[in-house]
Amino acid sequence: MTATTSIDYQVFMTDGSSAVSVKGAQADPDTACQFLEKGGVIFFPETPFKFSESDKAFLLSQKQKDADYHKNIAYRPKEDRVTGFGAQTNEEAEELRRIMADFHSQTTRFLQNFLAPYARHWKIDYASFRPIEEKGRKMRLRARNDLLHVDSFPTRPIYGDRILRTFININPTDDRIWNTSETFEKLLETFQGSVKVPGNLDKVAPSGTSPLKSMAKMLGLKANGSSPYDSWMLHFHNFLKENSEFQETCRKDNWQFPPNSSWIVFTDMVSHAVLSGQYALEQTIIVDKQDLVLPEKAPINILKRMYNRV
């Protein structure tokens, strides 16, 4: 696979303003970062990431293991291994690992140029393959993808850094359908009086294993850790999914991502829901808050302003 770094793209603005088209010759990394941090979705009608037909066919044949436990098939780059898959042989497992590692490497190389300011201190998180049809998928309410939400990690605190995700629809025939609604900033303005007040947002968990994590491990459970920011964001994620009035009455914009298209979005800023679609690849990167082009748009800084934590 090879990636292109000078490329045309469109920006879908989730605040209700008009879409923006950017030609490769006019593009620069700071502009792309600004679009994303304001709540835009950068869209590539033709993905810059290329697969061989055999690799794509192999992915389309893969099954997810224990779908009630594993939300997706995940590639963990630090360990160079894949979890959540149902491959029947060691050869199939190795082939899946190779393809996922290749996808991970390619997206990382592309973003190092396309979003260069973020590459200084970013942390490369999991890549995932999502082989299950989202429409009608049976999941517990807080795990459902078809309800509008902003992302938060229940097990990996990020302390105010940002969740950047890059997607590819590798479905050969069907669009992947999203709804988006207001940005985090607008949502917090609306629900500020309905959600708990955050604690010390700059607090960082001590090094080592916390008592909460130790107890959770003993019980076979997952724990968030002790970051007030991450705990608050997880609470807000759950609040939005559980708020039936919001889900039913909020403004919704519908986006259709065709086969072989890609898109990039800060999923902790843009409220989003996946209504339908099968066979998507995704790479998560944690962007350090010190490298943001518009730091005032970071959820942690929005929270500080609105709750007088500055």
Backbone CA torsion sign across 186, 187, 193, 197: negative
129 pairs with which residues across the strands?
73, 281
Q: Are 163 and 286 in contact (CB under 8 A)?
A: yes
Which sequence spans correspond to the domains of the chain? Answer: 9-306
Tell me what pLDDT residue 220 has.
Answer: 43
- Coil, strand or helix at 100: helix
Class for domain 9-306, per CATH?
mainly beta
Tell me what pLDDT residue 23 has.
Answer: 87
Among 258, 197, 274, 261, which Cα is nearest to 229's? 197
* Residues of the chain with confidence (pLDDT) below 50: 1-4, 208-212, 214-224
**Residue 90 neighbours by CB distance under 10 Å:** 8
Tell me what pLDDT residue 15 has.
Answer: 82
Residues 6+ apart with CB under 8 A from 193: none
Give the per-residue SS3 of 234-266.
Answer: HHHHHHHHHCHHHHHHCCCEEEEECCCCEEEEE
Residues 6+ apart with CB under 8 A from 25: 6
Tell me what pLDDT residue 217 has.
Answer: 47
- Residue 303 one-letter amino acid: L
Tell me what pLDDT residue 18 has.
Answer: 78
